[in-house]
Amino acid sequence: MKNYKKFYEVGHNKYYTITADDDLFIATESFLNIGKKKLFRKQKELITGFKLLKISACMTHLFTELNNLKPCKKQKYNDEDLIVYEHINNIELKAKIQNSYEQVIKDEINCVEELKEQYTKEGETELLPKIKAYLDKLKKVNPMEGIDLVSPNFSGCNLIRTMLRDGYEHLYTERVNAFTNNVYLYNQDEFANLTICKITTVKNVFKYIDTFIYDKKLIENLLKSEYEEGR
How many C-beta neighbours within 10 Å does residue 80 have? 8
pLDDT at 80: 76
pLDDT at 164: 92
pLDDT at 40: 64
Radius of gyration of the chain (CA): 22
pLDDT at 120: 86
pLDDT at 231: 58
pLDDT at 168: 95
Map out the domains of the chain with their CATH numbers.
5-54 (no CATH), 146-216 (3.10.450)
CA pair distance 26, 5, nearest whole angstrom: 10
Under-50 pLDDT residues of the chain: none
pLDDT at 69: 94
With a CB cutoff of 8 Å and minimum separation 6, the contacts of 42 are: none
CA pair distance 169, 20, nearest whole angstrom: 28
With a CB cutoff of 8 Å and minimum separation 6, the contacts of 160 are: 154, 183, 185, 199, 201, 206
Question: pTM, whole model, 2 decimals?
Answer: 0.87
pLDDT at 226: 83
Closest CA to 141 of 104, 100, 112, 110: 104
- Structure confidence by residue, pLDDT tens digits, 74-104: 776 677 788 899 999 999 999 999 999 999 9
